[in-house]
Structure 1
Amino acid sequence: MSGNINNINFNNTPINWSWVNDIINSCEKILLTTHENPDGDGLGAEVGLYYHLKEEGKDVKIINYSPLPKEYYFLNRNDIFESYNNSLHDDWMKTVDLAIIFDVGDYSRIRDVKTTLENFSINTMNIDHHPHPIKHSFTHNLVDLSAAATGCMVYDYLKVASKNPISRDSLLGIYTAVMTDTGCFKHSNTDKKCHEIAIESLQNGIETNIIYQNIYENSSKSRMRLLGVLLSNLNFEFNDQLAWFVISQKMLLEAQAKKSDVEGFTDAVRSIRGVEVAVMILEIGDKKCRVNFRSKGKYKVNDIASSVGGGGHAFASGAMVEDSLEATIEKIITRTKSALKRKMENI
């Protein structure tokens, strides 16, 4: 830990949640936000903290760069999620005491929200389980690489900060965060705390089966059409240990699918017998592609993501590449094959 009570930096060192609570308690107007194309961890962490802050009488809003994905509408029962619009939000945001940013990995992933926070010189607090550099742009930095989900960090905070048992509304968010980031409790990051959260959630009436159905059994026909196309065009390398696929703008258009429909596709390909690493290359625009790397655990992939300007966890990482689809395919697959070849030789 470095810094002092006014400017704290727990960068993968034990977090003093009492200090964190002192900072949050000193603020009256608080913004919660997470990365673009939000997932269950970022959204769930927001929900977990939102209801606690409301109980404490804070003026709090959740304002994200991206709209709420349909599979997470169940988290929005009280219409608490807002999509950033400068004309609607800037007057409120410029008076915010603290912006708490969840699960970003990289500060730039909150896009225009970051620009606005910087323009208004708003104090920020990063809560994340992704690696962050020693030098960072946050006022307060809370990083725990051992946390299975950012939602676990919110749970730890609430155990210190809440005068009462954690509410059902907060547990709904925290459980969603943990379930999604552990792959429904099947990934290697699943630990004792994850199951303790699940037990507490069940004891408080959280309908875990309904959460699962909303997220994983809620696909549109267009999403399934797109999945069928990509599964018919998979590429395999290294005796099938590497599987990779491409989703072009044309494929999205023909399937009548949205970019958000691709969530979970890389995990599905990784599940194929014999595949150790799966890679997705998604064309976002004429000169922009999103890349996802997933590993079963034999080979780390975050170093490959880092080599193209991305990052993330050892076995689940990604990057945004500012180049054409063709150039991105060449760059990503060449680097991935080269990296895996070295890793295989060193085993």
Structure 2
Amino acid sequence: MHLPLETSFERVRQAIHSYRNFIVTTHVNPDGDGIGSELGLSRFLQGLGKNASVLNSTPTPRNYQFLTKNGEVRLFDPQNPTQHLMEAEAIFILDISKWERLGPMKEVIRNHPAIKICIDHHPLNGDFADVNLVCEDACASGQLVLELIDSMNGTLTREIAEPLYASILTDTGTFRFPNTNARTHAAAARLLSLNIDSSQIYEQIYERCSPGRVKLLGMSLCNLEYLHSGRLAWMMVTQAMMRQTGVEMEEVEGFVDIARGIRNVEASLLFLELSDERVKVSLRSKGDIDVNQFAGKFGGGGHRHASGILLNGPIGTAVNQVLQETHLLFQISHKLVS
């Protein structure tokens, strides 16, 4: 059941007032919004005198590690659950509303007796958590965390503002994506008023790539192909390509957006080989093309213009499976504008 947004804010505020021990987490392979929103929230809770720990199932990508303090983000170990997790009274799940996206933490969190609170800006997948603070109009989960803090008349410090700014910066594509609006810029201005160094944050995230990443990008662009009279562009990155260039999987982030920027391209796909039997498909679009609806046909999802799919099987099978259905992207678009 979807509650009015203010009702959801109030339920979250009540939980914060009622409990002392919190776990804050996000999805596997966390992006800037996942990392930024959980760091901002956990630091705010600590400022209230709460015990709040960030616990993730996969490591923080290298380009976001500057946001964290030593030991601030703990890595989940299924064989050795932390004392913080066992004692948690409330668990915040940020930037996702699907249990599967918690990876190896899925069952542990789902079956934990603590109250579960979701803060997200993706479409809600049924009754996900006990409390769902979900607003699809928000540009990022970090924006909702900022609005939660302000709704509590909370103290916003530079240490809280920096990761929340990174959250908004990355999930709006540096304020380029259609989810950028007056509310977005008002939130950014609020955070910038704390004298955070926006240029340094941008540089740390976007201008510290390895030479291997540049080489891998060149290789992937060399295999770029087009379908549907140039309206769709797709490319792939294999395990062999990453080994050849010495690149970690996290460094592939952003490749799919480059393909979307090509003239006349309305949708772009990137097939990333996670293992011999696991493939991640990143989808981007512009205009009326709804990649979220298309991704849903394969059990994936996200936003209208940015979504993802996880498929089991070899990368060649995944490519064939998805590409043979891409005509539906443009049928979906036609229905939306008819």
Q: TM-score range by the shorter chain?
A: over 0.9
Q: Per-residue deviation at 1:85?
A: 1.8
Farther-moved stretch of structure 1 (251-260 vs 334-343): 334-343
1:83-142 superposed Cα distances (whole Å, 9 cap, x missing partner): 112345343312100110000142211112222223433321111111123333x22112
1:169 aligned partner, one-letter code: E
Q: Per-residue deviation at 1:344?
A: 5.1
Gaps of 5+ in 2: none
Say if 2:117 and 2:130, in contact at 8 Å, map to a contact too. yes
Partner of 1:57: 49
1:38-90 superposed Cα distances (whole Å, 9 cap, x missing partner): 01111111121111111111111001111011111121135411211234534
Partner of 2:137: 146
TM-score normalised over the length of structure 1: 0.92
1:318-346 superposed Cα distances (whole Å, 9 cap, x missing partner): 11011221111111111113432563587
Q: Per-residue deviation at 1:220?
A: 0.9
Q: Tell me the SS of whatever aligns to 1:291.
A: strand
Q: Per-residue deviation at 1:13?
A: 4.4
Are 1:231 and 2:226 matched, yes or no? no
Q: Give the one of 14, 19, 38 matched to 1:22.
A: 14
Say if 1:105 and 1:312, in contact at 8 Å, map to a contact too. no
Farther-moved stretch of structure 1 (70-79 vs 177-186): 70-79
Q: Distance in 1 between matches of 2:7 and 2:283?
A: 29
Q: Tell me the SS of whatever aligns to 2:299.
A: coil
1:176-220 superposed Cα distances (whole Å, 9 cap, x missing partner): 111111111111111212211222222211100001001111111
Say if 2:97 and 2:118, in contact at 8 Å, map to a contact too. no
Aligned pair count reads 337
Farther-moved stretch of structure 1 (18-27 vs 140-149): 18-27
How well do the aligned residues superpose, as a CA RMSD in angstroms?
1.8
Q: Tell me the SS of whatever aligns to 1:89.
A: coil
Q: Give the one of 157, 172, 189 matched to 1:182.
A: 172
Say if 1:48 and 1:170, in contact at 8 Å, map to a contact too. yes
Q: Give the one of 148, 164, 168 matched to 2:158.
A: 168
Q: Distance in 1 between matches of 2:173 and 2:154?
A: 31
Partner of 1:45: 37
1:155 aligned partner, one-letter code: L
Partner of 2:108: 116
2:207 aligned partner, one-letter code: E
Q: Distance in 1 between matches of 2:210 and 2:329?
A: 36
Say if 2:273 and 2:280, in contact at 8 Å, map to a contact too. yes
Gaps of 5+ in 1: 3-8
Partner of 2:208: 218
Using the aligned pairs only, state the percent identity.
31
Partner of 2:125: 133
Are 1:156 and 2:153 matched, yes or no? no
Q: Per-residue deviation at 1:14?
A: 4.5
TM-score normalised over the length of structure 2: 0.94
Moved over 4 A (4+): 12-16, 344-347
Say if 1:90 and 1:116, in contact at 8 Å, map to a contact too. no
C-alpha spacing 1:78/1:191, structure 2 compared with 1 (3 Å) = farther
